Structure 1
């Protein structure tokens, strides 16, 4: 995948992250701070990707691939490993990778199997879309190996390097190719698909069975030569299974698949076979016959490329780097969409639960019959919460729901009408009428007391009951009793007498109504507040009086009304002249 595609995916992921932050219900400082962090991560990731690609390009041998096909090339690209017969590649190009392009595919020579992962990385750096076009071809010439330990080591090295290379490419199919030196001059390929039991014969674009190919022989000599070829092929396949394939199918966590195809072709004797090769020794041990390749010709004919076998390779030309990047981008969008849907569902559920709880709380408090001050405070709080809910729901109705609750999951509209019904149906409690301070009840001292004394006359009780009938005792109100005298006599004695008469009236009210001291305030003013002139007999009679009035005072009479078994005191009867 190119640096441009990788950086595009980074930008796409950052854009999705910013969109999610805009949807999530976060405090504004946290949202802005996180957005700044995302932008910084995108910038750092972009620079890191560019530096990594640049270092990778500098470390890989990319200069030797100037003759590669165009990036749009969609035929198989085969990395050729093993003992390559002479003439298969042009070895004269200095500084360039050995490369051949035929009508069916592109062949790239891997001189050393240890360079296979680097070759794969170089090709994918130059041609990112070739990830599924790459395959590995192992050429095994049975007459070129004379040491079984050396061959096993080479195969194990290929096995290990193939595992490393597959970490870079999506898949690297393995094809096993062998050239059998015979006197037969036919250009024919024998292929075993997925290690099948019987080979297919590929001749001039046709695919035949071994029996059909043998029946096409023109005369007896050709039949005999083809029969001998079939026997040699079967022997060679047995040897390949034993000496080659067994080292490519080792058990383990990184076990690679069997070769997708084995292919063997017939070539004239090339003259470079090793005497006493593994193949010859194995054939002599099994059959007692030495495989004769004939005398080597003076001019070596280039061996053919296995183009007829390339049709067996898996075709993945459509899985380009752009497509892979598109798939990754689609998965990123899907993950972001799932997160956005979950967030929207959670936000809508939270809003529905809050409004429903406020409605339930208001209904439970409103249904209480006893509206004491604490319950009225709870009712006001519940009503204030409903008004805030109504404001939010109206705002959503007029301007649209917030992004965090959108995506088709908004359900709070159905609660707007019940909320407004509860608010408009609220009727505030009627305040209990507050008794205003009444005009003082004025008692004539001569009707209650003996002259110059503070004890009641015998008929004073009837006068008090008739006069104090409108006096009601209630919490928060103080009963103020004030005694007055005329201006005759000693002022000090008059002051004491006025207070003593006020205390006498208080004591009588306590005995009659069981009213505590906290409900009373007693004072004697003597002759300091006359209501008439002291120069006349009638004026002095009016000034000799006891005034009773109710005055609001916080905390008065609280003990009387806080007792659970007490009821408000009934009106007290008093007299008035």
Structure 2
């Protein structure tokens, strides 16, 4: 799922999101490193858990060899830790047995409460992703030297349960089984019976302030023992058991529930769903916490009693009302996560596509606005704006012919609606009329005979040429001088060149156009336009021509590659 998430993130990042390539590659490297680290860490944790719990998984495999896989995931599985585990799991000569199937559940032995997190993870893997259904804490009061020692052991168990729940990502229901000899009568004579409470809802959080509902549950347990006394006709053994049971129930509420559910402790309170007591356990010890409590409260010391023969019964009645949790197979959960990730990626993709389309519409709108704001007389700037509009039109047409890219898809594309607007804007462009090609000036009106010095007042004849030049400041200007054939040809050539230079200098000074934009040429009498044999013809040949040299046409491109 981590790799799938990373692939989705990279696809959305590079194909859709409106970010620069530099940012995209930086984020991609970060995603790749995090993905590799997460996969490596998770793989290492799983392998370590398998190695550390190999003996547990082997024991589970041996004990459940005859169970179908579907049954081992549906059958309740309880982790049992605490006291007297050998007596609980001893079935025949195999005293090191770690798992037992029977009494309506799979029971797994955890010798050290600190191993609960590790074994819980291993069980979850073994059960195809389903965590254990509960944790049973076995308590034999006679095995503890003092109440303080018992309290410390309970706090260790509580911390281990909290760590297990955190690692598994789910709360684990708790159950307490108290194994205490209540009467000296051999168990085989009277049978073994559990007294307790089993509930699908959490019992009490604060044992010192037992809610009425929970108090009623404990009273029901004692009433059940008292009813057995009546049924037995006042049998002294049954009466002694009922009295001892009432005492051990009160002791459990005061001594056991506190360390497990007290909210002042750092670990999470253990959610208890069942408590059970049974007249079975190790040999009684007058120094045990329960015996000491009975003596302190009543002045009566419980009589010495022998240990119950193994195996001791597992607390099946205590977990009968175990709350059933909805379990989803890892494959179905992975499929659901994949659908959720795809939905998130789709939402981000739609958002990114909307932003990209907004950007597309914004810059096309800016191109159209710039074109419409440029006056017709500024043809050069108008032609540049027209090129941008034509490029926009070609880009939209490219998408229409070859398909809209993914970054603009997901139902957000609106570029087709802009095609008529762009075509109308392109069709509205009209090139300005071409400038006059040549302005011819009479040399006699500008210069005295044989002179290249402009006569006073002659500049009025050049005003028309000046206006033409100012209207087209981007054009190059050629000033050419001509003479008739009277006189020496070389002198005429020099005179025509000098007159062209004089006109050029005046135009530069009057227009402010750089001199580099002008060119001068003298042709002398080599290019007559009339017959030099007549006075009228020679007058026409004595002239200065000012020509705007046309530049190579800059055609508007028909296509432009799409913007990226």
TM-score (norm 1): 0.68
2:313 corresponds in structure 1 to 304
- C-alpha offsets along residues 487-525 of structure 1, whole Å, 9 cap, x if unaligned? xxxx79x969x979x99xx99xx9xxx999x99999997
What is the deviation of 1:279? 0.5
2:362 corresponds in structure 1 to 353
1:117 corresponds in structure 2 to 117
What is the deviation of 1:118? 3.1
Distance 1:201 1:152, change over 3 A: closer
Richer in helix (by share): 2
Question: Aligned match of 1:550 in 523, 528, 544?
Answer: 544
1:57 aligns with 2:46: no
What is the deviation of 1:227? 7.2
1:181 aligns with 2:184: no
Aligned partners of 2:77 and 2:107 also within 8 Å: yes
Secondary structure of the residue aligned to 1:316 is coil
Deviates more, 1:543-552 or 1:190-199: 543-552
CA–CA separation in structure 1 for the residues paired with 2:214 and 2:115: 34
Aligned partners of 2:146 and 2:289 also within 8 Å: yes
1:563 corresponds in structure 2 to none
1:435 corresponds in structure 2 to 438
Distance 1:271 1:379, change over 3 A: closer
Deviates more, 1:273-282 or 1:97-106: 97-106
CA–CA separation in structure 2 for the residues paired with 1:290 and 1:338: 73
Distance 1:227 1:359, change over 3 A: farther
Deviates more, 1:74-83 or 1:185-194: 185-194
Distance 1:292 1:515, change over 3 A: closer
What is the deviation of 1:403? 0.9
1:243 aligns with 2:255: yes
1:255 corresponds in structure 2 to 267
What is the deviation of 1:260? 1.8
Secondary structure of the residue aligned to 1:106 is strand
CA–CA separation in structure 1 for the residues paired with 2:5 and 2:264: 37
What is the deviation of 1:259? 3.7
Distance 1:499 1:335, change over 3 A: closer
1:567 corresponds in structure 2 to none
1:268-417 to 2 correspondences below 5 Å: 272-291=283-302, 296=306, 300=309, 302-365=311-374, 368=375, 371=377, 375-417=378-420
Secondary structure of the residue aligned to 2:438 is coil
1:367-516 to 2 correspondences below 5 Å: 368=375, 371=377, 375-435=378-438, 437=440, 472-474=464-466, 475=469, 476=477, 478=479, 480=481, 482=483, 485=486
Aligned partners of 1:138 and 1:176 also within 8 Å: yes
What is the deviation of 1:321? 2.9
- C-alpha offsets along residues 109-166 of structure 1, whole Å, 9 cap, x if unaligned? 12222332332233234334231x3421111123332322322332232233223333
Aligned partners of 2:6 and 2:35 also within 8 Å: yes
Q: Which has the larger radius of gyration?
A: 1
1:66 aligns with 2:83: no
Secondary structure of the residue aligned to 2:542 is strand
CA–CA separation in structure 2 for the residues paired with 1:471 and 1:216: 134
Distance 1:143 1:38, change over 3 A: closer
2:214 corresponds in structure 1 to 197
CA–CA separation in structure 2 for the residues paired with 1:66 and 1:95: 18
1:157 corresponds in structure 2 to 156
Aligned partners of 2:113 and 2:157 also within 8 Å: yes
CA–CA separation in structure 1 for the residues paired with 2:2 and 2:535: 106
What is the deviation of 1:80? 1.0
1:13 corresponds in structure 2 to 5
CA–CA separation in structure 2 for the residues paired with 1:527 and 1:119: 112
Aligned partners of 2:80 and 2:109 also within 8 Å: yes
2:98 corresponds in structure 1 to 98
Aligned partners of 1:283 and 1:289 also within 8 Å: yes
What is the deviation of 1:229? 5.3
Secondary structure of the residue aligned to 1:385 is helix
1:135 aligns with 2:134: yes
Aligned partners of 1:23 and 1:340 also within 8 Å: yes
- In the comparison of the two structures, how many residue pairs are matched? 495
Distance 1:324 1:260, change over 3 A: farther
- C-alpha offsets along residues 245-277 of structure 1, whole Å, 9 cap, x if unaligned? 222245579522334234223325x56122332
